[in-house]
Structure 1
Amino acid sequence: MIASNMAKTGIALAIFALVCTALLAVTNEATKDRIAEEERLFTLRTLSEMVPATLYDNDLVTDSFQLIAPNYLGNANPKTIYRARNNDAPVAAVISATAPNGYSGPIELLVAVNTHGKLMGVRVVKHKETPGLGDGIEIQRNDWITDFDGRSLSNPGHRGWAVKKDHGVFDQLTGATITPRAVVKAVHLCLQYFEKQQSLIFSAESGKTIDATE
């Protein structure tokens, strides 16, 4: 009798464990889907902030590909390159890049540049910089990031692509120099790559991954 009760209890516990595991799996999957959707919507909003919808008639997310260019884009991970076109003519590219040397770790960026090599905008999409100091790179907290708008390789020129502490033209953030220094360097490298490989950027097949490691 006791053995029978113990067996029933064991079965009940096993069933309970299976049910809990199944519920947890369903919850995790739902959470993963929600997070992915939130990230997608955030990316769309960020793209539209930098490249006005009136300038292109294609789907930027569909017209994209993955690029591996560690010497210019921060690391060896594939980076998404979005293309804006109007009547099939290239208008701008939005380049995903990493500033690897942030104060608290890598800083993930989106860098929009038009076909003339001018920046249309830069946005930080992920970072772990110090709240109240390094997080001033976020557009929601500070307009520092907008100083890149309209810049190019010739404006301010090679020597100017640095923070003022390093004799460049870009401001530091109060109490934080390492963070903006990392972002400035990453954006400058993006512009250099765009000038060098603009043809590849606009001719690459959508959905493909291209290894352009040098």
Structure 2
Amino acid sequence: MSHRYTAANTSLRTAGIMVLFTVTFTAVMSATYDATRPAIEASAQEGKMRLINEVLPPSSYDNGLLDDFVTLGPTPQLGLDDGGRIYRARRAGAPAALVLEAAAPDGYAGRIQLVVAVGADGRVSGVRAVGHKETPGLGDYIDPRKDRNKTQPWIGQFAGVSLADVAAAKWTVKRDGGAFAYRIGATISARAVSRATGRVLEYATENRDALFAAQSGSRI
């Protein structure tokens, strides 16, 4: 009886210690998260703004861009299977540009995540490939950080172009009869980005007024 009693006490004591440890650990982790969350969120916001500034000049708008957005559900035209966001730039209250999350589903190594800015004048302001698995040293020139031509990165050729300049059917590489350059040996990556950018431009042009009129933070 004494042995069983001692064993039971030991088990209870061990269980109590484990519960206390779990509660304490959870409380510490929660406090740590609460303390670091503002810094993490601020860092994420800064990262988004750095990216947006690459495709849209900060001088072109004066609103709080990250707070002025609409959320999309699945949108095949933009390559968004799970939806995404569109940020709206305004200057003195008037529409200035749309910054759209998008994707090219047909890259050489899979999906290529994109951010495309389209001005209120219907011209592409800038394009960036923000996530991809294209072949290093070959197809990854779609990312200007990896493009060996630092003076004139390949992806810069879309800036300033509108549907009035290049018809929708011509938003592909020259090899396919389109308007845009590509690099020998890496046509697929360039084709995917060129076509996706054209689709984004079409979407932004067709839906511009409704996108700017929607309530901020709404899902459309």
Q: Please report the TM-score for the alignment, with normalisation by the length of structure 1.
A: 0.82
Three-state SS of the structure 2 residue aligned to 1:40 is: helix
Give % identity.
39
Residue 184 of structure 1, aligned match among 175, 194, 197: 194
Aligned partners of 1:141, 1:34: CA distance in 2, in Å?
29
1:40 matches 2:17: no
What SS class does the counterpart of residue 116 from structure 2 fall into? strand
Q: Are residues 1:153 and 2:163 paired?
A: yes
* Root-mean-square deviation (Å): 2.7
Does the residue aligned with 1:140 lie in a helix, a strand or coil? Answer: coil
Within the candidate set 209, 215, 219, 1:209 is matched to 219
The counterpart of 2:206, out of the listed 177, 183, 196, is 196
Q: Quick check: 2:114–2:128 contact (8 Å CA) kept in 1?
A: yes
Give the Cα–Cα distance (whole angstroms) in 2 for the partners of residues 129 and 92 of structure 1: 29
Q: In the alignment, residue 197 of structure 1 is paired with which amino acid?
A: N
Q: Which range moved further: 140-149 or 16-25?
A: 16-25
Corresponding residue to 1:89 among 86, 89, 94: 94
SS in 1 for 2:66: coil
Structure 1 residue 21: deviation in Å?
5.1
Q: Mean alpha-carbon deviation: is it higher for 2-11 or for 161-170?
A: 2-11
Residue 149 (structure 1) shift = 0.8
1:110 aligns with one of 89, 109, 115: 115
**Partner of residue 79, structure 2:** 74
- Give the 3-state SS of the residue equivalent to 1:65 in structure 2: strand
Correspondence for 2:69 = 64
- Matched pairs, number: 210
**Radius of gyration: which is bigger?**
2
Report Cα offsets for 1:29-84 as digits up to 9, x if no partner.
77877665443222111212222222222111122111346242113433211112
CA contact (8 A) 1:133 1:174 kept: no
| Of 98, 104, 115, the match for 1:99 | 104
Counterpart residue number, 2:21: 16
Q: Partner residue of 1:171?
A: 181
Contact 2:95-2:212 within 8 A present in 1 as well: yes
Q: Are residues 2 and 199 of structure 1, via their aligned partners in 2, closer, same or farther at CA, if it must alter by over 3 Å? A: closer
SS in 2 for 1:12: helix
| 183 and 32 in structure 1: CA distance in 2 versus 1, 3 angstrom threshold | farther
Q: Which of 167, 172, 178 is residue 162 of structure 1 equivalent to?
A: 172
Distance in 2 (CA, whole Å) between partners of 1:148 and 1:52 is 15
Whether the 8 Å CA contact 1:109–1:122 is kept in 2: the answer is yes
Q: Which runs of 5+ in 2 are unaligned?
A: 1-5, 148-152
Distance 1:71 1:49 in 2: 25
In structure 1, C-alpha distance between the alignment counterparts of 2:111 and 2:39, rounded to whole Å: 24
Amino acid at match of 1:183: V
Name stretches of at least 5 consecutive residues in structure 1 with no aligned partner.
Answer: none
Contact kept? 1:109, 1:124, Cα under 8 Å: yes
